[in-house]
A and B are shown apart, each in its own frame.
Chain A
Amino acid sequence: MKVVLQHLTKIFPSRNKKDKNAEVIAVNDFNLEIPDGKLIGLLGPSGCGKSTTLYMISGLQVPSSGKIFFGEDDVTKLAPENRGIGLVFQNYALYPHMTVQQNILFPLQNLKGENRLSKEEMLTRAANVAKLVQINEYMDRKPSELSGGQQQRVAIARALVKMPRVLLLDEPLSNLDARLRLQTREEIRRIQRDTQITTIFVTHDQEEAMSISDFIVVMKLGVIMQTGKPQQVYDDPANLFVAKFLGAPPINVFSGRVEGGKLYVGEEAVLSVGDIEDQEVYVGIRPEGFILSKSGKLTCNVSGVDVMGRDISVVSTSSASLNPLVRSIISADEMSNITGDVVKFNLKPHKVYIFNKETEERVHFGEQIALHEKVVAEMAAEGQNYVAHAGPLPREADDKAKADEVPPQKTTWLDKVKALFPKKKKAQDAAEQAPAGEADPEAEAQVAQAEGEGETPTPAEEIDKEGKE
């Protein structure tokens, strides 16, 4: 089933009734076409709106605007149970009082009318699904008697048993330990291949997304940053965020500039970039993009070498680097060439990405232009739009504006009470300002009191500050 999301937007209203501007745009104008029978990974840091997107597809959350299509059907206003989806929750949400079999049967028992199956049919279907996810041995156990990975598979079985048109997985692997995670992600891949159900899954782990997705969508603050096949996105990041988010160890980012067709990192011209405009740039270099060379242009101070067997990782520092450490991965054979405190690198041009400093948008150069065109062409051939975002995000701009804004002084009841009991200085001022005839006897009494109390009365503002801190 093809899933199409058009201009999908979700705005969470402000919790604070007084401050209407505090509303959060969780998903902002999300446009995506998910081809039939593919496994899609929604990828992004926490709070980027990926789970919200998933829940809007499931129907548990209603979009503020935009439309959702399953195939040709507009399901935007359809209740979750009528959409034909299977949803696996992050913590599985298996019914603890039912056995595995009862859990899997539950969605089938809810079917009504024509769709209602006979009891035998239900049991066979549950058994088939259980076999598919390999939990048929545990049908009589309660969820609490299963391991995390088994519970996960029961949850998938429960989602699959009604043969959904779309399978949705919300961070399916985050509750598993590292080894089970690897195993289960292969399992999910296998189950998806076997069933050919369009599957959308949400994760913040780039490695997880890259390894099993046919197609990934990188999100940030409710906006799609880039879409594509994992390798395409890795090789051809559209902006600095995507470049930084994908890859382990992460990409090394330097501050640099393009001048006269040459790329400068620090004071050294490290690469010739051909015919592009002079500009201030961020230079992203993948760890595998370094070549150790005595005549190298990029100079770094070695602070350590991590041995990883086949490869070694040279950890070094550079004044131009925006990361505290520069990590480069080179062949272990070259270990002996690292002598002294300084290493010099040449760069592989296709592993060096230049981003405009203002928009953080990718600037392609040399062979990269051809590669990029190839990626776009490939995607177009598969009916995909190449999506790439650049420039500041709406929410970032909002947040910045909010941070700059000086919050209005609030007067609470405490301030009012404090105003009733002014400290010495204020009370004196008031007494001085007030005409002699109308002098407040109370204020005078307070002045006397304050004088009697202490030599160094603190101004009310200071108390306020301390209280806030």
Chain B
Amino acid sequence: MSEEKTDPILTEQEEAPVLAEEPAIGEAALPVEGEQAVLSAEGEAALPAEENGENNQKPVLSPQEKKIIWKDRFNRYKAWLYLLPALIILAVFTVWPIINTVRMSFLKDYDALKAIGGASFTVGFDNFVNVAHYRRFLTCLTNTMLLTVITVPVSTMLALLIAVALNSIKFIRRTMQTIFFLPYVTNAIAIGMVFMAMFSVIGGNPSQPLSIGIINTIIEAFGGKAVNWVNAGSSKVANMAVLIIYIVWNALPFKILVLLGGLQGVNKQYYEAAKVDGASRFRIFWRITVPMLSPMIAYVVITGFIGGFKEYSSIVGIFGESMGPVGADGRMNTMVGFIYDAIESGNQGRASAAALILFVIIFAVTMINMYVSKKRVHY
């Protein structure tokens, strides 16, 4: 019984592959040949040709098929085509300058004109040594560090407080927002000059300055003594104070904007829950507002640090291109100022090396920031 039953199945199985073979070959050949094989009688002629291995002969394509193939190719690469303008511009104006900066920083006594003339330069760390030994380098570095380390936390804290305050009022929020945002849309040099006017003194001797600036007027109105802030004979501490006030004030609008946006995205229910739980305002601020805003705070701090290390225009605004009060040129100079001076004096190697140093510092600080925020930020 069982043999009788299995036999027909076996024969069927044996027969089946034989039957299937013919159509299988036909099917396999069709896709290889492409759509055109199906289209015409020529396709049938092409079949045996391929089996013989004569693949060298290109199939004749109709214009329609060519169009399809070109369209396919276009679709495959069109993303690159659309990106091309941006890529070219980036390559010319960003990638190449970066590479060139790195190259120049390692070439001794590099000079663009000589380089065009075909001169070769020895490779080495001379430029970096040169930078480190340069008389103003340490001043620039400490100035930059000091300004950044002081202004970023101060401006962030202030911005946070102002943002929370703005968020809690309804009445004149729009107006206040506009007022706080004004510095952002105003030219840095122009503001710097206004600051200079506000802090400036005219005449008098260094110990007894004769003041017309509004700041000194206010100090005197409260019974204080006028301070020589930015003019000839002023102290570095006074210069620094003016600069810090200016930078903080200038950095506030953007930070307030970001933090206010973040605050408005916080679910009100957390505050209601905290209220029911009896949390004080101070605790609500530290335990709820700040953690909820932590992604925005991290963003503001990181961009603040990056911007801080690139501080330059504010000093030009207040002190002019001399980067310091009269009689103390370059006292308030920063890293960017240092690089600029090096370029101006025609020493591109030194400028490149300084730029590279600045880049490494910014990179390292940003990495530290990212590391800290990874632990502290609640997304």
Whether A96 sits at the interface, judged by CB under 8 Å, is yes
The smallest C-beta distance from B23 to any residue of chain A, in angstroms, reads: 52
State A355–B276 Cα separation when bound (angstroms): 44
State whether B275 touches A93 (Cβ < 8 A).
no
Contacts of A419 in B (CB 8 A): none
Which residues of chain A come closer than 8 Å to B145, judged between CB atoms? none
Partner of A85 from B272, B276, B288 at Cβ < 8 Å: B276
Cβ of A80 within 8 Å of any chain B Cβ, yes or no, is yes
Taken residue by residue from 289 to 322, chain B's Cβ proximity to chain A (1 for < 8 Å, 0 otherwise) reads as 0011010000000000000000000000000000
Within 8 A of B (CB), among A83-98: 85-87, 89, 91, 93, 95-98
B279, A95: Cβ atoms closer than 8 Å: no
Q: Given the known A-B contacts A95-B288, A96-B378, A97-B291, are A87 and B276 also in contact in the complex, defined by CB atoms under 8 Å?
A: yes
Q: A96-B378, A97-B291, A97-B292 are in contact. Are A106 and B270 (CB under 8 A)?
A: no
Give Cα A58–Cα B272 distance, bound, in whole angstroms: 10
Residue of A nearest to B279 (CB): A110
Kindly supply a per-residue 1/0 record for chain A positions 109-120, scoring 1 wherever the CB is within 8 Å of any chain B CB and 0 otherwise. Answer: 111100000000
Q: Taking the complex as formed, is B205 at the interface, i.e. its CB lies under 8 A from any CB of chain A? A: no
**Interface 0/1 of A64-99, CB less than 8 Å to B:** 000000000000000111100111010101011110
| Interface assignment of B280: CB less than 8 Å from any CB of chain A | yes
Residues of B within 8 A of A307 (CB): none
Q: Which of B269, B287, B294 lies in contact with A93, CB distance below 8 A? A: B269
- Near A by CB (< 8 A), chain B positions 89-134 give none
Query: Which chain A residues lie closer than 8 Å to B267 at the CB level?
Result: 93
Q: Is A250 part of the binding interface, using a Cβ–Cβ cutoff of 8 Å?
A: no
The answer to whether B277 has its CB under 8 Å from any CB of chain A is yes
Q: Does A50 contact B (CB under 8 A)?
A: no
B280 close to A110 (CB less than 8 A): yes
Shortest C-beta distance, A115 to chain B (Å), equals 10
The docked-state distance in angstroms from the alpha carbon of A82 to that of B280 is: 12
Question: Do A93 and B278 have beta carbons less than 8 Å apart?
Answer: no
A60 with B276, Cβ < 8 A, contacts A93-B270, A95-B270 known: yes
Considering the complex, give the chain B residue whose CB is closest to the CB of A89: B269
- Which B residues touch A106, using CB under 8 A? 274, 277, 279, 287
Q: Is A107 an interface residue (CB 8 A)?
A: yes
Q: Kindly list chain B residues whose C-beta atoms are within 8 Å of the C-beta of A89.
A: 269, 272-273
- Closest Cβ neighbor of A82 among chain B residues: B278
User: Chain B: how many interface residues by the 8 Å CB criterion?
Assistant: 19
Q: How far is the CA of A89 from the CA of B275 in the complex (A)?
A: 13
Least distance between B291 CB and chain A CB atoms (Å): 4
Nearest chain A residue, comparing its CB with the CB of B269: A93
Contact yes or no, B272 A60, CB < 8 A: yes
Query: Which residues of B lie under 8 Å from residue A109 when comparing CB positions?
Result: 283
Q: How far is the CB of B379 from the nearest CB of chain A, in Å?
A: 9
Q: Which residues of B contact A82 (CB under 8 A)?
A: 278
CB-CB under 8 A from A86, the residues of chain B are 276
Give chain A residues whose Cβ lies under 8 Å from the Cβ of B277.
81, 106-107, 110, 158, 162
Q: Which residue of B lies closest to A115 (CB)?
A: B278
A186→B273 CA distance, assembly (Å): 25
Interface residues of A, count at CB 8 A: 25
Residues of B within 8 A of A60 (CB): 272, 275-276
Residues on B with beta carbons closer than 8 Å to the beta carbon of A58:
276
Q: Which residue of B lies closest to A155 (CB)?
A: B273
Q: Which residues of chain A are near B291, meaning CB under 8 Å?
A: 95, 97-98
Residues of B contacting A107 in the complex (Cβ-Cβ under 8 angstroms): 277-278
A59, A82, A85, A89 pick with most chain B CB within 10 angstroms: A89
A87 and B276 CA atoms in complex are apart in Å by 7
Give A80 to B283 CA distance when docked, in angstroms: 16
- Distance in Å from the Cβ of B286 to the closest Cβ of chain A? 12
What's the Cα separation between A97 and B278 when bound, in Å? 19
* Complex-state Cα separation, A86 to B294, whole angstroms: 28
User: Please, which residues of chain B bring their CB within 8 A of the CB of A80?
Assistant: 275-276, 278
A33 to chain B, nearest CB (A): 23
Cβ–Cβ < 8 Å partners of B279 in chain A: 81, 106, 110
| Alpha-carbon separation in the docked complex, A413 to B273 (Å) | 45
Out of A79, A93, A111, A162, name the residue touching B273 (CB < 8 Å). Answer: A93
Residues of B close to A158: CB separation below 8 A: 277
Q: Is the CB of A110 within 8 A of B283?
A: yes
Distance in Å: Cβ of B320 to nearest Cβ of chain A: 47
- Contact indicator B378/A81 (Cβ below 8 Å): no
The B21-58 residues at the A interface (CB cut-off 8 A) are: none
Closest B residue to A86 by CB, please name it.
B276
| Min CB gap B81→A, angstroms | 42
Cβ of A125 to closest chain B Cβ, rounded Å: 14
Chain B residues within 8 Å of A93, by CB? 267, 269-270, 272-273
Give the interface centre of B273, B280, B283, B294 by most chain A CB atoms within 10 Å: B273
Which B residues touch A91, using CB under 8 A? 269
For A110, the chain B residues whose CB sits under 8 A away are 277-280, 283
**A81 CA / B267 CA spacing, docked (Å):** 19
Least CB distance, A139 to chain B, in whole angstroms:
18
Chain A residue with Cβ nearest B267: A93
Docked CA distance A410–B292 (Å): 45
Could you list 25 A-B pairs, sorted by A, with CB under 8 Å?
Answer: A59-B276, A60-B275, A81-B277, A81-B278, A86-B276, A87-B276, A89-B269, A89-B273, A91-B269, A93-B267, A93-B270, A95-B287, A95-B291, A96-B378, A97-B294, A98-B287, A106-B277, A106-B287, A107-B277, A107-B278, A109-B283, A110-B278, A110-B283, A162-B277, A162-B278
Mark A residues whose CB is within 8 Å of B: 58-60, 79-82, 85-87, 89, 91, 93, 95-98, 106-107, 109-112, 158, 162
Q: A81-B275, A81-B277 are in contact. List 7 more A-B contacts (CB 8 A).
A: A58-B276, A59-B276, A80-B275, A93-B267, A93-B269, A95-B273, A97-B378
For the complex of A and B, list the 10 residue pairs with the smallest distance between their C-beta atoms, beginning with the closest.
A81-B278, A97-B378, A107-B277, A97-B291, A93-B269, A93-B273, A110-B278, A87-B276, A110-B279, A80-B276
